Amino acid sequence: MNIIVSSSKESLAEEFAYMLKDMSDTGEKIHVALSGGSTPKVIFDYIAEELGEEIFWDNINFYWGDERCVPPDDSESNYKMTVDHLLSKIDMPEENIFRVLGENDPEEEAIRYSKVLADELPIVNGIPQFDLVMLGMGDDGHTVSIFPYNIDLWDAKENCVVAVHPDSGQKRVTITGKIVNNAKSVAFLVTGANKADKVKEIVMLEGDYAKYPASLVKPTSEELIWYLDRDSAKNLDFSE
């Protein structure tokens, strides 16, 4: 596990952006699962504005680690957020973009998207393999759309399942732990003081860490990087 603490969201975005550029420079097609919510907005803005012309977008396929079951133009849509902050500003071929069809029946879409992953990604250890899975973390320790109350979904045998947000009741399609932990590399991008307690518990394996889905992210490749800002890292003690 590597931890990169940046002085600001913008410098965190820069760290991640150049990591993505380096990955795309290999000349091989890379398959990347994007996270949703609000954290990626500043990161996607930075990538579009600073590296939009430098990254060879033909080499990258975008997928989503989770998506809200809403239409693609809904303000809640992770796809819409990505269009607004990145896809509308870069020259990525349409055929490289594999969105979760949030407008579909959730159960049917979970099955369809599971097949998309099986069809599009290399199969390693019998499981579709992403080159990179980008993850956020909620202040309750959830990641993708697997929440503490339904942490058992992490071990589902499917590639994707339907989850329900504990507060809003919103349905979501989410990839499961087998997909996340089979990735070549996983990047947590977590900012804000409201995440600091959970970051400490999970990174330091303290308190109730085992109850949080984010603590189950342990890629077989052992390539896990936490991209943090000062606020989310403020409780970490690097002297230990």
Q: Residues 155-174: x/- map of binding to ligand 6PG (CB under 6 A)?
A: --------------------
The reply on whether position 138 binds ligand 6PG by CB under 6 A is: yes
The reply on whether position 143 binds ligand 6PG by CB under 6 A is: yes
Q: Specify the residue, 196 or 239, whose C-beta has the smaller distance to ligand 6PG.
A: 196
The reply on whether position 66 binds ligand 6PG by CB under 6 A is: yes
Q: Specify the residue, 29 or 230, whose C-beta has the smaller distance to ligand 6PG.
A: 230
Closest distance to ligand 6PG from the beta carbon of 91 (Å): 25
The 3 state secondary structure assigned to the chain is CEEEEECCHHHHHHHHHHHHHHHHCCCCCEEEEECCCCHHHHHHHHHHHHHCCCCCHHHEEEEECEEECCCCCCCCCHHHHHHHHCHHHCCCCHHHECCCCCCCCHHHHHHHHHHHHHHHCCEECCEECCCEEEECCCCCCCECCECHHHHHHHHCCCCEEEEECCCCCCEEEEECHHHHCCCCEEEEEECCHHHHHHHHHHHCCCCCHHHCHHHHCCCCCCCEEEEEECCCCCCCCCCC
The reply on whether position 102 binds ligand 6PG by CB under 6 A is: no
Size of the site for ligand 6PG (CB under 6 A): 14
Q: Residues 20-59: x/- map of binding to ligand 6PG (CB under 6 A)?
A: ---------------xxxxx--------------------
Q: Specify the residue, 32 or 137, whose C-beta has the smaller distance to ligand 6PG.
A: 137
Which residue ranges make up the site for ligand 6PG (CB under 6 A)?
Answer: 35-39, 66, 78, 136-138, 142-145
